Amino acid sequence: MTTGTDPEVTPGDMTARGVHHASRAAIPARHLRTDRWWLVPAGTAAGLLAFVVYSTWRAFAGDDYYAAPYVSPFYSPCVAENCVPMKGGADWEIFGAWWGLSPALLILIFPLGFRLTCYYYRKAYYRSFWASPPACAVAEPHKRYGGETRFPLILQNVHRYFFYFAVIVALILTYDTALGFRDERGEWGHMGLGTLVLLANIVLIWAYTLSCHSCRHIVGGRLKHFSKHPVRYRLWSWAGLLNSRHALLAWASLVSVMAADLYVYLVASGVFDDPRFF
């Protein structure tokens, strides 16, 4: 369909890109929006970039991730021999002394893979970093659109499998949160500010994980008659309620996991002592 306006380039000019390419509709302007549409993709890019920088630093640091009884979510479960001993924690020496890098690099691939292939995050970084498209009613600058049918974007389809690993990691972090109700000697019946930080983090992580589109499909997908499956229908309804807030939960859990790691880092590095309530 054309607009009846003349393009800024001739139809035979195959060097033009984006909306001015000969194969696209003849629309001279890239957009007709008058608002500051670029604020959302720019803010999204800034937020994601900040998390990438912070998580990269902490993942490669390899220290100050355990302050009894708290362990950073970036380092749990800790599956290398070079892990700091954790009292009753998920400290499993699966990888021997040959692993000399940070133990976080062995486990972060699963929660990060889950988020990287998440439907919301795909939309977020496609728009903010690749401008595909940068915003609603704003044309993308790319010559053609290939979708997620070719390498490497076809690998986004592994999201459903990363979901299962994300559930396992969430269960382990739930266990870590429960250990937060102990003191540094391992005695139960205590709670500090770090306990609340880890508790808030795991609640948001579970909310984000269960709001995932894959989770909604697992509990209620491929059903022809909801009336014959009342339990799965109820679970599907609950997942749907969370799914309507998926974007908000994606950001809230991203901030919470970074805040939890930062809190443990500050306590472990001796910046301040964990305030205890009882």
pLDDT at 4 over 50: no
Number of C-beta neighbours around residue 246 at 10 A: 17
Q: Considering only residues 141 and 198, tell me which one the structure prediction assigns the higher pLDDT.
A: 198
In tens, the pLDDT along 54-99 reads: 999 999 999 999 999 999 999 999 999 999 999 888 888 899 889 9
pLDDT above 70 covers a percentage of the chain that reads 90
Q: How many separate helices (H) and strands (E) can be counted in the chain? A: 9, 4
pTM: 0.87
Predicted local distance difference test score (pLDDT) of residue 17: 60
Mean pLDDT of the region 18-28: 65
Q: Considering only residues 11 and 150, tell me which one the structure prediction assigns the higher pLDDT.
A: 150
In tens, the pLDDT along 199-244 reads: 999 999 999 999 999 999 998 888 888 888 899 989 999 999 999 9
Q: Which of 247, 203, 242 is nearest to 73 (CA)?
A: 203
Q: DSSP for 109-129? A: HHHHHHHHT-HHHHHHHHHHH
pLDDT at 246 over 60: yes
3-state secondary structure 230-251: HHHHHHHHHHHHHHCCHHHHHH
Are the C-beta atoms of 162 and 212 separated by less than 8 Å?
no
pLDDT above 90 covers a percentage of the chain that reads 67
The partner residues of 95 in beta bridges, in order of sequence, read 80
Q: How far is CA 5 from CA 13, 30, 141, 273, in A?
A: 17, 13, 19, 68
Number of C-beta neighbours around residue 177 at 10 A: 24
Residues 29, 35, 140, CA angle at the centre, nearest 5°?
Answer: 40
Instruction: Report the length, in residues, of the chain.
Output: 278
| Of the listed ranges 69-78, 111-120, 215-224, 247-256, the one predicted with least confidence | 215-224
pLDDT at 166 over 90: yes
